[in-house]
Amino acid sequence: MPKLKSVERKIANTEGFEVTIRYPDGRDMRSDKEGLPSYPYHNAAKHDSTVAQWRDTRFKQTFPGYDVTVWLADGSEAHGVMKLATVRDSYLDD
């Protein structure tokens, strides 16, 4: 089972945005934490999906018991109603 940092990197490479996986109470996890499953998706979620939809259908199904923060390129948090296309586009401006 991969380490947390590897899982976060795989999500970023697949989905096109950075994430931070957290405990359900919001606490950060150590990047060397082991025991998480691999991110099973090879293709990015649809651009017109929202952050909340991605979190519910992909993240929480794969990592039950954990929470995730999705980041825009400027370091601010992407809110649940934001389209994934908007999140991904923020990284193009970098």
Tokens of 64: 């039950």
Q: What is the pLDDT of residue 93?
A: 57
Q: Which helix (H) or strand (E) holds 18?
A: strand 18-22
* The pair of three-digit structure tokens given for residue 27, joined into one six-digit string: 């606490």
Per-residue pLDDT band for 67 (boundaries 50, 70, 90) equals: very high
Domain that holds residue 15: 4-92
Q: How many domains does the chain have?
A: 1
pLDDT higher than threshold 60 for residue 46: yes
Tell me how far the alpha carbon of residue 38 is from its chain's centroid: 13
Per mean pLDDT, which range of 2-11, 22-31, 51-60 is the poorest? 22-31
Radius of gyration of the chain (CA): 12
Between 31 and 54, whose confidence is greater?
54
Residue type, 4: L
Q: Write down the pLDDT at residue 65.
A: 92
Q: What is the pLDDT of residue 2?
A: 83
pTM for this prediction:
0.92
